[in-house]
Structure 1
Amino acid sequence: MHILLTGGTGLIGRQLCRHWLAQGHRLSVWSRHPERVPALCGAQVKGIAHLVELSHESVDVVVNLAGAPIASARWTRKRKAQLWSSRITLTETLLVWLESLEQKPSVLISGSAVGWYGDGGERELTEDSPPVTEDFASHLCIAWEETAQRAQALGIRVVHVRTGLVLSSEGGFLQRLLLPFKLALGGPVGSGRQWMPWIHIKDQIALIDFLMHEKTASGPYNACAPHPVRNAEFAKNLGRVLHRPAFMPVPAFVLRLGLGEMAELLLGGQRAMPARLQAAGFTFKFTDLRAALDDLSARL
């Protein structure tokens, strides 16, 4: 198959490229820096700067993961506009291109996040649950899904992957935690009671591949392990794996002072469950947090 990825040079995109290259698929990555794509994604992966470069080629699958990192900078008005443009505006451009094609891809797998629900508190959240609270991250995910869903009117199967906190040794939020924990400054955030919906990178890649091949799959899927943990438990397990203490709490007021509105990403959480994935027959390799962290520990 010929697979087009946006966000192909990101943490998940790079792993998908490796996985699908090994399966013999042909890959193209739409990127602002196409010259970097072969080095980041694999020598056989084609980097393109403009979608029109593929207008005369058949594309079987589109995986839309592009988006500026949501937690890498304070949410100023300018930063919010960048986060919006990198997801919604880019997806709108993708839709215009898809509409122009005579032969449409069979499926669009589009990124989203468990932040779609807002801060869920103690509620158990499945794909049937409505958004619980309204905040910027929730509005962003809702608009992203609504935009991508328009591809269904073109006869394309649309899947939304609501990703949790991805555990990987090659980047992502786990890498940002390593320094404070290794300096014995790690610990729970705020009350430590907020739920953390996590997923091992291997399961994240496997479930996207599963949803691509599962021809009846459409709509939203919570991409997180079936056993979310509270923030304090996560900190304790990470400390044990790194052989460091994890007792240094970060007070909520300090986060709000330093991060502003973005602090609610860390102080809130989602007790999200992968109900639709499990009902579809997907099997997680990592369902226990300690086992998932142990698998990554040698590379951390």
Structure 2
Amino acid sequence: MKIVIAGGSGFIGKKLSKLLLDEGHYIKILTRKAKQSSGNVQYIQWLDGAASPEKEIGDTDVVINLTGVSINDGRWSEKHKKQIYHSRMEATDELLRIISLLPKKPSVFINASAIGIYPASIDAVYTEDSLDVSDDFLGKTVFDWEAKAKQVEAFGVRTVFMRFGVVLGNQGGALPLMVLPYKLFVGGTLGHGKQWVSWIHVADVVRAIHFVMNNEEIKGPVNVTAPTPVQMKDFGKEISSVLHRPHWLPVPSFAMKIVLGQKSALVLEGQHVLPQVLVENGFSFMFPSLHTALEDLLKV
């Protein structure tokens, strides 16, 4: 298949591109900087005033949008929050424009999203059927992003919103920062410890995207989380167990808020999210338990 990936050079995009290339697919990566194409990978410049990516894309079977300023980098100043929001709106608007101009429309449009759309809660359990939307910054960003992406349906294209949980990887995402205190022998529970961590191994993220791409019955929101979310206090204990480091020094909420500002919500608040759509459609997780996922990622 011919597959267009926006954000193909990022944390998830690189691993997804490798999987698709290993299967023999032809990949077209949209990039702001011109790069030399090679083999089954073609780099196409976009989001540049002089660029006309639709002329180079031609026929494509799948469009995957992973683009957006990372929520994990830097403090959430008002400027950074605007960058997080507008980078997603701008990229999705451009993909809408590109798809509208393609003579042959792709069969599926897969758009990145996040479980941050659900309100933080200790008691609630969320599936794709849940209609509650958080009224905080992340909730608004994800809600607007999905609404924008949904416009692709007007072209008769199957559209999927991949609501990523806390993606665990050893080369990006949240895990390196969560592990660092334990490596320094000062690891402990963050905040009150009851907040939920709906995590997923990055390998399963990539496999889930591939699964959805090939399953014509799946559309709309898809929770991309492992089937076994845990509370923060237990997440820390698992890191401690795998690394053979102590879990003893609690980090109070006020300290996290001083260090991280508004971004502290990423670790002090959480949602209990289940991957109902993936499970019901027969997706098999490579890493269904946190312990095996951490053992794989934190090989000591």
TM-score (norm 2): 0.94
Q: What CA distance in whole angstroms lies between the structure 2 residues aligned with 1:43 and 1:166?
A: 29
1:195 is displaced (CA, Å) by: 0.4
Q: Does 1:106 align with 2:107?
A: yes
1:18 is displaced (CA, Å) by: 0.5
Match of 2:44 among 48, 51, 65: 48
Q: Assess if the C-alpha contact under 8 Å between 1:120 and 1:132 holds in 2.
A: no
Q: What CA distance in whole angstroms lies between the structure 2 residues aligned with 1:196 and 1:69?
A: 19
In the other structure, the counterpart of 1:235 is 236
SS of 1:158's partner is: strand
For residues 128-163 of structure 1, give each alpha carbon's deviation from its aligned partner in whole angstroms, at most 9, with x where no partner exists.
112353100111111111100000011110000001
What pairs up with 1:155-166 in 2 under 5 angstroms?
Answer: 155-166=156-167
In the other structure, the counterpart of 1:27 is 27
Q: What CA distance in whole angstroms lies between the structure 1 residues aligned with 2:121 and 2:132?
A: 8
Q: Does 1:75 align with 2:90?
A: no
1:170 is displaced (CA, Å) by: 2.1
SS of 2:52's partner is: helix
Q: Does 1:84 align with 2:89?
A: no
Q: What CA distance in whole angstroms lies between the structure 2 residues aligned with 1:157 and 1:293?
A: 34
Q: What CA distance in whole angstroms lies between the structure 1 residues aligned with 2:33 and 2:154?
A: 31
Q: What CA distance in whole angstroms lies between the structure 2 residues aligned with 1:179 and 1:232?
A: 16
Q: Which runs of 4+ in 1 moved over 4 A?
A: none
Q: What CA distance in whole angstroms lies between the structure 2 residues aligned with 1:222 and 1:53?
A: 30
Q: What CA distance in whole angstroms lies between the structure 2 residues aligned with 1:96 and 1:190?
A: 44
1:76 is displaced (CA, Å) by: 1.4
In the other structure, the counterpart of 1:202 is 203
1:53 is displaced (CA, Å) by: 3.3
In the other structure, the counterpart of 2:142 is 141
1:34 is displaced (CA, Å) by: 3.7
Q: What CA distance in whole angstroms lies between the structure 2 residues aligned with 1:54 and 1:89?
A: 16
Supply the AA of the counterpart residue of 2:79. K
Supply the AA of the counterpart residue of 2:285. F
In the other structure, the counterpart of 1:181 is 182
Q: What CA distance in whole angstroms lies between the structure 2 residues aligned with 1:212 and 1:133?
A: 28
1:29/1:61 CA distance change after superposition, 3 Å: same
Task: Mark the runs of 5 or more structure 2 residues left unpaired by the alignment.
Answer: none
1:265 is displaced (CA, Å) by: 1.8
Supply the AA of the counterpart residue of 1:14. K
The farther-off stretch of 110-119 and 165-174 is 165-174
Q: What CA distance in whole angstroms lies between the structure 2 residues aligned with 1:195 and 1:14?
A: 28
In the other structure, the counterpart of 1:152 is 153
Q: Assess if the C-alpha contact under 8 Å between 1:131 and 1:138 holds in 2.
A: no
Supply the AA of the counterpart residue of 1:282. F
Q: Does 1:221 align with 2:217?
A: no
For residues 112-132 of structure 1, give each alpha carbon's deviation from its aligned partner in whole angstroms, at most 9, with x where no partner exists.
011110313221100111235
Q: What CA distance in whole angstroms lies between the structure 1 residues aligned with 2:256 and 2:146?
A: 29
In the other structure, the counterpart of 1:17 is 17
1:179 is displaced (CA, Å) by: 2.4
1:96/1:161 CA distance change after superposition, 3 Å: same
Supply the AA of the counterpart residue of 2:218. A
SS of 1:33's partner is: coil
1:259 is displaced (CA, Å) by: 2.1
Task: Mark the runs of 5 or more structure 1 residues left unpaired by the alignment.
Answer: none
Q: What CA distance in whole angstroms lies between the structure 1 residues aligned with 2:133 and 2:28?
A: 37
In the other structure, the counterpart of 2:267 is 266
How well do the aligned residues superpose, as a CA RMSD in angstroms? 1.6
The farther-off stretch of 205-214 and 117-126 is 117-126
Q: What CA distance in whole angstroms lies between the structure 2 residues aligned with 1:34 and 1:267?
A: 40
In the other structure, the counterpart of 1:172 is 173
1:43 is displaced (CA, Å) by: 6.1
Q: What CA distance in whole angstroms lies between the structure 2 residues aligned with 1:124 and 1:179?
A: 30
For residues 40-94 of structure 1, give each alpha carbon's deviation from its aligned partner in whole angstroms, at most 9, with x where no partner exists.
xx86422221262342521110000111111212221211110012111210111
